[in-house]
């Protein structure tokens, strides 16, 4: 039976006991039923209790005290402290009471072990806090793992970007060296294209005449004669188109198969087939396809010429030195700012999407063409026709639309931009600029020098010189078009702008400050009405600027805005290309309504004040050099943005048509050769099929530089 002394005296200091249980997570109402053994079992798990005694001592009566045994001096020092008296502090009373009960419950004999230490309130609270911290850390780790898992899932579902990740920009070669190298390659490809193209045209003249129903001497006599008439000019054309074979060998060294490799392989296979036609008597009486393979080599050479032309024009423009502006995409659209050429070479040399698709697709098509040729020839018991069957699928795989997807239009666009003092950093830079459908324009872009000026001044109890100097003091600090207009005005009047204190730019195009102790405001009439400045009923002009001193109107300045022809062309080009204008102007009169009146353009959007000030800053950093500009004017920025959009659209359409044309051609060639429909696989029919896939791209290629 347990005496009531073994219970914690909750009746004494009940408020302290309840506070302790709240700290320990125990319900105060239920805590009164807990004994000392329950508490010790809950919070003393970290300490190893001593072995229980064989016979527990009988509990002492409540009214008696345990007799104090006689102890030596050493035993007295090692003995525990006596119980605190009732008038001691409540915290010390409770701690020492728990420690005493613990030692009494675990001691066997008269002396408690010296190694055992009492469990104090600090130990209990510390263990509780450590447990809570551990739970919180485990909860944080669990949420972190769930968040990482969700991010990985989102990364898997995210669509692939049309741009490759940009490698670190290391030391780049000088623009002069890159321009000189591409210039040599461009002229070599152009010379080869002209010569080989002329030879291929001569090669096709007999085929065209025979298709028109005319008999060509020697050529129409037999298939062997036709093979000779094709083999000789094809070999000459391949020798003249040596840049294609050089590019094919370079691709093989890099472990990739491109259009040059496919075209070179098609020419080699067709020439071997023409030789076997002359040597094998039982070879199929089907016309050789060397003319089709020669055309694919000429188209590949056309693509190399366009690519090297585009790179040469771009790097040649970069040799002019540090660009005046670099074009990049900000959250509000394509904008220009100050920058350098660092990174332009790296971006320009990034692989375009057309080359990526060729590198992935053409090896598969070449391997498939070999398998299909084996099935159509050896599988059908016609091993002697293997080279002809392979040449059919190879010529179809080397589609004519591949070079028209990016290389040829890039060369045309780069030449057009170079004439205006601009350049785009290859397909990478074009895709970045094409991702924005807005163009940011400032005051100077819309109204270049000479297109806006002060046309008249109306004074109200103020001197002309003082009014102009007051307005010039605010306008020059505000910058933009107003600063240029009033800066020219004080020069004509031989005045100087007044110094301004506490200058501030207000929303709505207004400027304010303190001049000679007077509060001066400058801005359009709408701003003045918001500032409670009384204005006359009629204004001298629709576009004017008001000046007020201490809340009184002192002058009205009439501003004349004239539309410049390059700006009109730029806005029309932007509208045709689906680009919207975003105004980063500081002049309160330049609004979408004014542009609609002066230029007849719609869709312009006025940005917020902070955004306008940041984007119209003259020394604003322009970001990455995805495009470079050396001439001022919005027309060059619009041409760069619109040309990039058209180039990317042409590349997407070209990739689609070239992939579909090559895949369908290989499958169709395999089907016709497998079923033995040899009469349909004439050189003219196959060439017409390949031209039909390339024909839709010709208008896009022709118009990519017509911005």
Q: 232-242, pLDDT tens digit by residue?
A: 999 999 999 99
Query: Are the CB atoms for 590 and 481 separated by under 8 Å?
Result: yes
Query: Are the CB atoms for 560 and 452 separated by under 8 Å?
Result: yes
Query: Are the CB atoms for 362 and 258 separated by under 8 Å?
Result: yes
Please state which of the ranges 165-174, 302-311, 431-440 shows the lowest mean pLDDT.
165-174
pLDDT, the chain, mean: 82
Residue 60's alpha-carbon distances to 38, 56, 102, in angstroms, are 21, 12, 16
Q: What is the pLDDT confidence band of residue 106, given thresholds at 50, 70 and 90?
A: very low
Pairing state between β 544-549 and 552-561: antiparallel
pLDDT of residue 109 exceeding 60, the answer is: no
CA pseudo-torsion sign 173, 177, 182, 184: negative
- Single pTM value for the model: 0.73
Query: Are the CB atoms for 75 and 107 separated by under 8 Å?
Result: no
Q: 208-237 burial, b if ≥16 CB within 10 A, otherwise e? A: eebeeeeebeebeeeeebbbbbbbebbbbb
Q: What is the rounded distance in angstroms from the CA atom of residue 517 to the CA atom of residue 520?
A: 9
Please report the pLDDT score of residue 241 as a whole number.
Answer: 95
Please state which of the ranges 66-80, 322-336, 339-353 shows the lowest mean pLDDT.
66-80
Please report which helix (H) or strand (E) contains residue 492, including its range: helix 480-492
Please report the pLDDT score of residue 706 as a whole number.
Answer: 87
Please state which of the ranges 67-71, 148-152, 384-388 shows the lowest mean pLDDT.
67-71
pLDDT of residue 90 exceeding 90, the answer is: no
Residue 264's alpha-carbon distances to 274, 401, 538, 685, in angstroms, are 16, 16, 78, 21
Q: What is the rounded distance in angstroms from the CA atom of residue 486 to the CA atom of residue 483?
A: 6
Residue 136's alpha-carbon distances to 125, 142, 278, in angstroms, are 16, 10, 85
Q: What is the rounded distance in angstroms from the CA atom of residue 352 to the CA atom of residue 414?
A: 15
Please report the pLDDT score of residue 666 as a whole number.
Answer: 95
Query: Are the CB atoms for 308 and 185 separated by under 8 Å?
Result: yes
Backbone phi, psi, residue 280, to 5°: -95, 125
Instruction: Give the residue-averaged pLDDT of 623-646.
Output: 93
3-state SS, residue 692:
helix
| Burial of 298 per CB tally in 10 Å (0-12, 13-18, 19+) | buried
Query: Are the CB atoms for 441 and 583 separated by under 8 Å?
Result: yes
Query: How many CA atoms does the CB half-sphere of 480 hold within 13 Å?
Result: 25
pLDDT of residue 316 exceeding 90, the answer is: yes
Summarize pLDDT for 381-430 with one digit per residue, the tens: 888 889 999 999 999 999 999 999 999 999 999 999 999 999 999 999 99
Q: What is the rounded distance in angstroms from the CA atom of residue 334 to the CA atom of residue 439?
A: 5
Q: What is the pLDDT confidence band of residue 191, given thresholds at 50, 70 and 90?
A: very high
The percent of residues above 70 in pLDDT, for the chain, comes to: 80
Please report the pLDDT score of residue 511 as a whole number.
Answer: 93
Query: Are the CB atoms for 564 and 578 separated by under 8 Å?
Result: no
pLDDT of residue 85 exceeding 50, the answer is: no
Q: What is the rounded distance in angstroms from the CA atom of residue 347 to the CA atom of residue 625?
A: 8
């Amino acid at each position: 039976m347990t005496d009531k002394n073994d219970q914690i005296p909750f009746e004494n200091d009940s408020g302290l006991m309840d506070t302790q249980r709240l700290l320990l997570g125990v319900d105060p109402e239920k805590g009164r039923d807990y004994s000392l053994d329950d508490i010790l079992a809950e919070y003393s798990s970290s300490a190893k209790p001593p072995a229980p005694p064989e016979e527990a001592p009988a509990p002492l009566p409540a009214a008696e005290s345990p007799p104090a045994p006689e102890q030596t001096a050493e035993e007295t020092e090692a003995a525990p402290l006596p119980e605190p008296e009732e008038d001691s502090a409540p915290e010390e009373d409770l701690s020492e009471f728990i420690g005493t009960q613990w030692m009494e419950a675990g001691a066997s004999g008269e002396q408690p072990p010296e190694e055992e230490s009492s469990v104090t309130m600090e130990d209990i609270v510390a263990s509780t806090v450590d447990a809570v911290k551990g739970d919180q850390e485990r909860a944080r780790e669990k949420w972190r793992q769930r968040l990482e898992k969700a991010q990985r899932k989102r990364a898997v579902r995210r669509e692939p970007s049309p741009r490759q990740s940009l490698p670190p920009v290391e030391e780049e070669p000088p623009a002069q060296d890159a321009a000189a190298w591409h210039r040599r390659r461009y002229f070599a490809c152009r010379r080869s294209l002209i010569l080989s193209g002329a030879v291929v045209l001569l090669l096709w003249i007999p085929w065209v005449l025979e298709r028109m129903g005319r008999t060509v001497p020697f050529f129409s006599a037999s298939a062997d004669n036709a093979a000779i008439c094709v083999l000789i000019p094809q070999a000459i054309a391949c020798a003249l188109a040596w840049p294609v074979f050089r590019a094919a060998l370079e691709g093989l060294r890099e472990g990739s198969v491109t259009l040059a490799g496919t075209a070179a392989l098609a020419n080699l296979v067709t020439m071997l087939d023409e030789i076997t036609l002359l040597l094998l008597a039982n070879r199929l009486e089907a016309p050789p396809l060397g003319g089709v393979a020669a055309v694919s080599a000429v188209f590949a050479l056309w693509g190399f010429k366009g690519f090297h032309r585009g790179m040469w024009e771009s790097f040649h423009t970069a040799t002019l030195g540090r660009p005046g502006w670099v074009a990049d995409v900000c959250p509000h659209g394509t904008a220009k700012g100050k920058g350098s050429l660092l990174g332009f070479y790296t971006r320009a040399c990034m692989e375009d999407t057309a080359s990526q698709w060729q590198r992935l697709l053409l090896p598969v098509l070449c391997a498939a063409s070999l398998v299909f040729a084996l099935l159509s020839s050896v599988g059908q018991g016609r091993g002697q026709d293997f080279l002809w069957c392979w040449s059919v699928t190879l010529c179809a795989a080397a589609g004519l639309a591949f070079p028209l997807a990016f290389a040829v239009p890039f060369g045309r666009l780069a030449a057009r931009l170079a004439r205006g003092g601009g350049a785009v950093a290859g397909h990478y830079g074009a895709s970045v600029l094409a991702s924005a459908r807005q163009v940011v324009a400032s005051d100077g872009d819309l109204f270049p020098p000479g297109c806006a000026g002060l046309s008249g001044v109306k004074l109200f109890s103020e001197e002309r010189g003082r009014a102009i100097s007051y307005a010039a003091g605010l306008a020059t600090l505000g910058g933009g078009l107003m600063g240029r207009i009033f800066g020219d005005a004080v020069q004509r009047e031989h005045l100087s702008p007044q110094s301004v204190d506490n200058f501030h730019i207000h929303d709505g195009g207004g400027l304010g400050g303190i001049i000679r102790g007077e509060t001066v405001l400058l801005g359009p009439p709408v701003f003045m009405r918001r500032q409670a400045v009384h204005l006359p009923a009629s204004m001298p002009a629709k576009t004017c600027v008001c000046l007020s001193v201490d809340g009184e109107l002192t002058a009205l300045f009439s501003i004349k805005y004239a539309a410049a022809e390059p700006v009109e062309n730029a806005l029309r080009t932007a509208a045709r290309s689906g680009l919207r204008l975003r105004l980063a102007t500081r002049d309160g009169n330049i609004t979408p309504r004014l542009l609609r009146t002066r230029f007849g353009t719609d869709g312009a959007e006025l940005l917020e004040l902070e955004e306008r000030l940041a984007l119209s800053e003259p020394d604003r950093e322009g970001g990455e050099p995805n495009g470079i500009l050396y001439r001022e004017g919005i027309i060059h920025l619009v041409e760069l943005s619109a040309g990039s959009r058209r180039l990317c659209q042409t590349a997407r359409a070209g990739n689609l048509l070239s992939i579909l044309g090559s895949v369908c051609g290989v499958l169709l060639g395999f089907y016709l050769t497998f079923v033995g429909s040899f009469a349909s696989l004439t050189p003219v029919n196959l060439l017409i099929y390949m031209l039909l896939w390339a024909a839709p791209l010709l208008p896009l290629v022709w118009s990519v530089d017509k911005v």
